[in-house]
């Protein structure tokens, strides 16, 4: 081989090598909050990434876990231009989109959305991945809440079936409440397992026939009879029937140890992920608890539902690679893997029909409860501020002053309506 040929071969080989290196250098940064056991969650994702990378020669996925303790501040920083991954498991789409505007935060997918199997998801779940007509990704987890009760306490009180209506809840809660002198050793009812008391009001208000705002997210709609009905029911459970613990409205209240210790017999709005968590972490109460669909209020039995979605961040130059990765994750078997690892309900009917979601009685109830799901996202960027469960929060203060301080309900609702409208106007 003469020198010219050798040089040509060398140049060709070098070009090919450089090309292949360049091709393999597409790495997308992907973040996820942890769900359930963090190590198992990491392993689940690593297995999916391995599978994905084996099917793609040119894309690598750099996976990082974003702890929940940092999640809120991190996403707030990202929505203001902080260092962001290319794509991620996200939440609060409406607020972070509003904060980021068209510069930072979640990125509408535009034409790239056609690569995703949008039609295969529950339409309700897609609400959490869409905003103002744009699709931002695919929903991957649901957080539907339903009734949770101690079946042993029910049996002990001679009650056969879980209560089905608000009136039945009151009667059952009275029977389940156990008093010892001035103290209550077991409360018959708890409003919710989440520490956020605004989350407790939401399903009750919907069940009473209310909606927090108009569909365009511009007008607050809480000064009405439905809100009075919901708040009066909460008030009466605490102060008239005395079956719900007033301390549960305070920050330090932690629900699960009390439920496990049989100090609270029933929760009206329990996170379904508790099922998997209690099976794994509290085996001593296996067989002693059950789920049931939310009790029906005066109008219907809507249940709180939240969802997380997998989306892309503005500023990335790898949007297409991200969407391909999300498209891979959106396949039934991969959604199944994520659902199994996290214990969260899936957002695809095909996954909810799988053996995993039908092998226990409580899971069947969870799947059944999906028909009651009402999204907790609202079409207003300021909803996150309105619904904050902290002193000073508009809905929080309204609930607290009505139920705990027992102040004038009409006045509290009227004040909250005015403040909430001002918040909705804040972003107009």
Partner 1 sequence: MSEKNLFCYLMVAPALFLTLILGVYPMIDTMIISFQDYDLLTLQSGGVNWVGIDNYSKILADERFVQTIWQTVWMTVLAILFSVSAGLLLAQIINVNFKGRGILRTVVLSPWFVPPVTASAIWIWLLNTNASPINQVLMDWGLIDSNIRFLADSTTWGPFNIPMLSVVAVRSWNGLPIIIIFLLAGLQSIPKSLYEAADMDGAGMFQKFYHVTLPMLRPVLMILLALLFLGGFGHFEMNYVMTGGGPRNLTNVLAVWTYQEGFQFLRYGKAAAASGIILLMTITISIFYLWVESKDNRK
Tokens at 25, concatenated = 């250098």
The whole-angstrom separation of Cα 252 and Cα 268 is 19
- In the three-class reduction of DSSP (H, G, I as helix; E, B as strand; rest coil), residue 15 is classed as helix
**Using the rule CB under 8 A, is 67 a contact of partner 1?**
no
Beta-bridge mates of residue 299: none
Distances 267 to 39, 68, 191, 413 between C-alpha atoms, Å: 30, 24, 5, 25
Contacts with 41 (C-beta within 8 Å, 6 or more apart), sequence order: 32, 34, 35, 65, 341, 342
Size of the site for partner 1 (CB under 8 A): 46
Nearer to partner 1, 45 or 75 (CB): 75
Between 190 and 275, name the residue whose CB sits nearer to partner 1. Answer: 190
Interaction residues for partner 1, span 80-99 (CB under 8 A): 80, 95, 98-99
Judged by CB under 8 A, which of 66, 76, 350, 409 binds partner 1? Answer: 76
| Binding mask of the shown chain, residues 263 to 302, with x at each position contacting partner 1 by CB under 8 A | x---------------------------------------
In whole angstroms, what is the distance from residue 139 CA to residue 126 CA? Answer: 6
Rank residues 123 and 391 by Cβ distance to partner 1 and give the closer one.
Answer: 391
- Please report whether residue 23 would count as binding partner 1 according to CB under 8 A: no
Rounded distance, CA 402 to CA 311, Å?
39
Q: Is 185 in the site for partner 1 (CB under 8 A)?
A: yes
SS3 (DSSP) at 146: strand
- Measured CA to CA, the distance from residue 398 to residue 411 in angstroms comes to 9
Indicate whether 425 belongs to the interface with partner 1 (CB under 8 A): no
- Packed helices 225-239 and 166-176: angle between N→C axes, nearest 10 degrees: 10
* Of the residues 51, 332, 388, 409, which one makes contact with partner 1 according to CB under 8 A: 388
CA 24 to chain centre: 35
Considering only 20, 27, 73, 358, the residue that binds partner 1 (CB under 8 A) is 73
**Smallest distance from partner 1 to CB 198, Å:** 11
- Give the interface with partner 1 as residue ranges (CB under 8 A): 72-73, 76, 79-80, 95, 98-104, 181-185, 187, 245-247, 249-254, 257-258, 261, 263, 381-382, 384-385, 388, 390-393, 400, 404-405, 426-427
């Amino acid at each position: 081989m003469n020198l010219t040929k050798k040089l040509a071969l060398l140049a060709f080989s070098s070009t090919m090598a450089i090309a292949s290196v360049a091709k393999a250098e597409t790495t997308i940064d992907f973040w996820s909050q942890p769900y359930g056991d963090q190590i198992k969650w990491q392993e689940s994702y690593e297995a999916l990434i391995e599978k994905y990378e084996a099917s793609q020669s040119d894309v690598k996925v750099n996976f990082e876990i974003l702890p929940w303790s940092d999640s809120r501040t991190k996403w707030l920083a990202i929505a203001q231009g902080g260092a962001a991954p290319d794509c991620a498991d996200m939440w609060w789409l409406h607020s972070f989109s509003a904060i980021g505007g068209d510069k930072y935060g979640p990125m509408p997918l535009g034409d790239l959305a056609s690569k995703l199997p949008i039609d295969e998801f529950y339409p309700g779940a897609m609400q959490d991945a869409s905003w103002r007509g744009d699709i931002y990704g695919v929903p991957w987890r649901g957080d539907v809440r339903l009734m949770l009760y101690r079946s042993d306490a029910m049996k002990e009180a001679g009650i056969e079936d879980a209560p089905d209506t608000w009136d039945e809840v009151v009667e059952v809660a009275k029977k389940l409440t156990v008093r010892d002198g001035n103290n209550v050793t077991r409360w018959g009812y708890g409003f919710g397992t989440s520490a956020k008391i605004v989350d407790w009001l939401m399903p009750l208000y919907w069940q009473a026939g209310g909606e927090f705002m108009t569909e365009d997210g511009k007008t607050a709609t809480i000064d009405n009879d439905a809100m009075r009905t919901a708040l009066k029911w909460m008030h009466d459970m605490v102060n008239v029937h005395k079956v719900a613990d007033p301390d549960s409205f305070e920050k330090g209240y932690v629900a699960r140890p009390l439920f496990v210790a049989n100090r609270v017999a029933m929760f009206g709005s329990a996170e379904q992920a508790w099922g998997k968590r209690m099976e794994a972490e509290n085996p001593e109460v296996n067989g002693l608890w059950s789920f049931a669909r939310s009790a029906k209020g005066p109008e219907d039995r809507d249940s709180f539902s939240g969802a997380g979605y997998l989306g892309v961040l503005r500023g990335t130059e790898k949007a297409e690679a991200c969407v391909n990765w999300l498209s891979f994750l959106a396949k039934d078997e991969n959604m199944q893997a994520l659902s199994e690892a996290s214990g969260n309900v899936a957002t695809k009917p095909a996954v909810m029909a799988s053996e995993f979601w039908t092998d226990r009685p409580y899971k069947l109830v969870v799947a059944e409860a999906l028909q009651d799901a009402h999204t907790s996202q609202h079409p207003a960027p300021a909803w996150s501020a309105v619904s904050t469960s902290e002193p000073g929060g508009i809905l929080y203060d309204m609930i607290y002053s009505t139920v705990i301080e027992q102040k004038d309900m009409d006045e509290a609702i009227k004040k909250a309506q005015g403040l909430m409208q001002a918040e909705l106007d804040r972003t107009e």
